[in-house]
Amino acid sequence: MFVDEAKIRVKAGDGGNGCMAFRREKFVPRGGPSGGDGGHGGDVIMESSERHNTLVHFRFNPEYKAERGRHGEGSNKTGREGESIVLKVPVGTIVYDEMTGEVVHDFSHPDERVVIARGGRGGRGNARFATSVHQAPREHEEGKPGEERDLRLELKLLADVGLVGYPNAGKSTLISRISAARPKIADYPFTTLQPNLGVVVAGEPPDDSSFVVADIPGLIEGASEGAGLGTQFLRHIERTRVLAHLVDVSDASGRPDPVADYEVIARELSNFGSGLDTKPTIVVASKMDIVDKDKLTKLKRYCKRKKLELFPISAVTGEGIEELKWALAKRVASGQLPVARD
């Protein structure tokens, strides 16, 4: 089950109360104050982990509370500190404060640890208030409450290449061909209901090059406004370096104009924002094994006019796959490149 959003409530531990006590010992005629301090409350810590890839463990358990500090005791005994709790999140998780909307932390690397709610300080016992002129203090402090926060977690997958296009354009078949990912593949729209990641290796050792590809559910017109599954998954390609835009040029697609298909999806990426329309884009003419030559010719002319790279492929026969892998690896290695404009 892929879950990429969750809301949780965290509560750090309260500090223990300080103790008011006086020494009562044989052969000690003037005892004096002996109340110990309370222990500090436990923190709530978040840590990014490569072993987690969804937020599903937060969906069914949305409240987390660290242990409170133990109260101070007599004989100047300090209370035990509360135990902190560590919440594991996938790499790529962004933590927002639900009340203010500000970003608490962006976990973009593995094994990052951040304290998101600090435990309360323990109160001072009456022994802390003793002075030369105030030798029997009865003052003591209560522990401070721990921080309490409502948080919103949002997962954005970390990938180098994002596959975009209409439903049934061949994205899932392509990622299954170029990587070890095995998404569901069928001949009906919206077969893919959650993003899939795959590691692609181009070439042979020692000159091989690897990168991560993200296959997101198919887009349709109006995706940037919530149509289909657009807004739910478009954020997963925000961090990618390159987009591979698949256009179905087969005679069985049911859409007569491949140029219109490309422009509709490009417009939705632009409307969504987050810089998706400025990312380097490679156009992929898919399903060449059942190609409609008129569609392919029209798409080639459009790409030549817009100065876009075009790679005709067939994920079924393997035609053009290696050339596409090398082109993507080259784009990923070179970073951000200029994008053609009108």
pLDDT beneath 70, residues of the chain: 1-3, 29, 181-194, 203-208, 218, 220-233, 335-342
pLDDT of res. 167:
82
Kindly list the structural domains of the chain, giving each domain's residue range(s) and its CATH number in brackets, ordered by start: 1-155 (2.70.210.12), 161-334 (3.40.50.300)
pLDDT of res. 1:
44
| Torsion sign across C-alpha atoms 299, 301, 304, 307 | negative
pLDDT of res. 274:
73
Task: List, in sequence order, every residue forming a beta bridge with 114; answer none if it has no partner.
Answer: 46
pLDDT of res. 296:
92
Which residues have CB under 8 Å from 37's CB, separation 6+? 16, 18, 19, 72, 78, 79, 122, 123, 124, 125, 128
What value, to the nearest 5°, has the Cα angle with vertex 246 and ends 245 and 249?
Answer: 140
pLDDT of res. 207:
56
pLDDT of res. 233:
67
> Is residue 42 a contact partner of residue 81, using CB atoms and an 8 Å limit?
yes
Q: Rounded to whole angstroms, how far apart are CA atoms 182 and 97?
A: 36
Edge-to-edge strand ranges of the sheet holding 5-11: 63-65, 5-11, 148-155, 93-97, 103-106
pLDDT of res. 227:
54
> Is residue 172 a contact partner of residue 186, using CB atoms and an 8 Å limit?
no
List pLDDT tens digits, range 260-312: 989 988 888 888 777 788 888 999 999 998 888 999 999 999 999 989 999 99
Q: Rounded to whole angstroms, how far apart are CA atoms 264 and 247?
A: 11
C-alpha torsion angle, residues 177, 193, 279, 112 (rounded to 10): -100
pLDDT of res. 339:
38
